[in-house]
Amino acid sequence: MGIQITPSILNADFAKMGEEVARIPSADWVHVDVMDNHFVPNLTFGPTMVEALARATDTPLDAHLMIEDADRNAPVYAEAGASSVTFHVEATKAPVRLARELRAQGARASMALKPATPIEPYEDMLPELDMLLLMTVEPGFGGQKFLDLVVPKIRRARAMLDKHGIETWLQVDGGVSLETIERCAEAGADVFVAGSAVYSADDPDAMVEALRSAAAGAAGHS
């Protein structure tokens, strides 16, 4: 599995979602930020939007759930058509059970950690995950500045994955741009969420390819 670029539609035009997704044909996934105005202070999409997007594009959907009570609510997004469902460990009481439930429904199971949440307590459950998401900003809003303090955690997470010999993907989300993606790739990330960097570009799809190239170059020198 090589470098994957997952544009976030949080920065797209909500009134033209089908058209906005069509502007990024080179994307590996479409990242859908689901916020409930409780776990984070913002309100965005729900399962109905995921269903509509799944009908509008052949690109698989990566649903990032910034919502409370993930144990009960996350499976709904797999049912709605998300190919990958990410729950926050801070919002679940039984992460292993939830990951297994998502996988049983045919979705990739992913777990997200806020910047201040350490990775070490979850090392033993990494084999239960298809992807681990390390937030490089505080979740809740797009356009935030990348937090360099997370880079050492990316390195530690990559070392854990390599130690266990598992193929769990390592995703980063928050402030990812041409100025920051190389640091993340060099540290060991291989899946990159980019929102404002993509949708503020004159040619969003060209930016997807530029980000992929930058990350691949940095990963090759790590």
Residue among 28, 62, 130, 173 flagged as catalytic: 173
Question: Exposure pattern of 81-98 as b/e (b: 16+ CB <10 Å)?
Answer: bbbbbbbbbebbeebeeb
What is the predicted pLDDT for the residue at 221? 58
Phi, psi of 55 (to 5 degrees): -75, -25
d(CA 91, CA 213): 34
What is the predicted pLDDT for the residue at 154? 98
Going by C-alpha positions, the residue among 62, 91, 92, 90 that lies closest to residue 77 is 62
Q: What is the pLDDT of residues 112-167, one digit of tens each?
A: 999 999 999 999 999 999 999 999 999 877 778 999 999 999 999 999 999 999 99
> Given a cut of 80, is residue 56 above it in pLDDT?
yes
Residue among 33, 36, 130, 190 flagged as catalytic: 33
What is the predicted pLDDT for the residue at 11? 79
The helix (run of H) or strand (run of E) holding residue 219 is helix 204-220
d(CA 157, CA 21): 31
Q: What is the pLDDT of residues 62-96, one digit of tens each?
A: 999 999 999 999 999 999 999 999 999 999 999 99
CATH number of 4-220: 3.20.20.70
H helices present in 105-149, as ranges: none
Would you list the domain boundaries of the chain?
Answer: 4-220
Q: pTM of this prediction?
A: 0.94
Instruction: Assess contact for 193 and 8: CB atoms under 8 A.
Output: yes
Percentage of the chain beyond pLDDT 90 is 81
d(CA 208, CA 26): 7
Question: Mean pLDDT of all residues in the chain?
Answer: 93
End-to-end CA distance of the chain: 16
**202 in active site:** no
d(CA 192, CA 180): 11
**33 in active site:** yes
